[in-house]
Structure 1
Amino acid sequence: MAIELGDDWSQKRISLLESKEVIEPELLSKVANALKVPEEAIKNFDEQAAVTYFNTFNDNSFSNSNGTFHANYCTFNPIDKWLEVIEENKKLYERLLQSEREKVEILKSKG
């Protein structure tokens, strides 16, 4: 927002502005333009209403063939699952390696 308001604005100055109870009308207009919102939206802002509004959002953007999938209902740790797969791959590799060793021994004993 400091960039939008101009060169003489900094993050510190924005923080001071945020802590003000009353903002001059000309400055309010500049802030509203920088945020791309109507001045009335800032004048009538209610923090509790905004929190309530955003807490009502549900992200239903994930879906599968069984309907809606909610990412916050994940019952497993994906990293743990990934580590399990790695361990399973190691075991499969060891069994394959043992099988190859046995084949070599059989070929040596026949030859």
Structure 2
Amino acid sequence: MAETLHIGRKISKIRELRGIKQEALAALLGISQQAISKIEQSEEVEDLALNKIAAALGVTPEAIKNFSEDAVLNIINNTFTSHDTSTLNAINFQPTFNPIDKLVEVFEENKKLYEQLLASEREKIELLKNLK
């Protein structure tokens, strides 16, 4: 039960979710990083300080007071949508070609190139023989 009432932890979680470091929040509020750390360890925070912190984090004081990780996870789970199939394709990749066939194709192409190179070298040798 203490977890749900610990305002400092809620501030910390919201700050982390917003991608803000303690140093950045401290700079926004004009206080030290150590002061932010102390606030985040506090079970209660004065209303004036809470209002300033909420404004710096871009949320309301009520949002901090009512913050719940379960609610955030529910929001994320209920609002995540992918309007294309990129996510599905990344998870369930099934190529439309046979990779072994592609490997054999590349091998055959290399073989042809090698034969062309060999024929070219034979021509050079014949030309050099004819020059003598």
Q: Provide the TM-score with structure 2 as the length reference.
A: 0.53
**1:17-61 alpha-carbon deviations (Å, 9 max, x no partner):** 223221110110110110121221112212211122223343526
Q: Within 2, Cα distance between the matches of 1:15 and 1:95? A: 68
Distance 1:47 1:18 in 2: 16
Q: Count residues with an aligned counterpart.
A: 95
- Aligned match of 1:17: 39
Gaps of 5+ in 1: none
**Do residues 28 (structure 1) and 45 (structure 2) align?**
no
Rg larger for:
2
Letter in 1 for 2:32: W
**Structure 2 equivalent of residue 58 of structure 1:** 80
Task: Quote how far apart the aligned CAs of 1:93 are.
Answer: 5.7
The letter of the residue matching 1:102 is A
Which runs of 5 or more structure 2 residues have no equivalent in the other structure? Answer: 1-24
RCO comparison, higher one (Cα < 8 Å, 6+): 2
Q: Is the 8 A contact 1:3 1:9 kept in 2?
A: yes
Q: Taking every aligned residue pair, what percent have the same amino acid on both sides?
A: 26
Aligned-partner Cα distance in 1 for 2:115–2:79? 55
Pair 53,92 (structure 1): closer, same or farther in 2 beyond 3 Å: same
Which has the larger share of helix? Answer: 2
In the alignment, is residue 48 of structure 1 matched against residue 95 of structure 2?
no
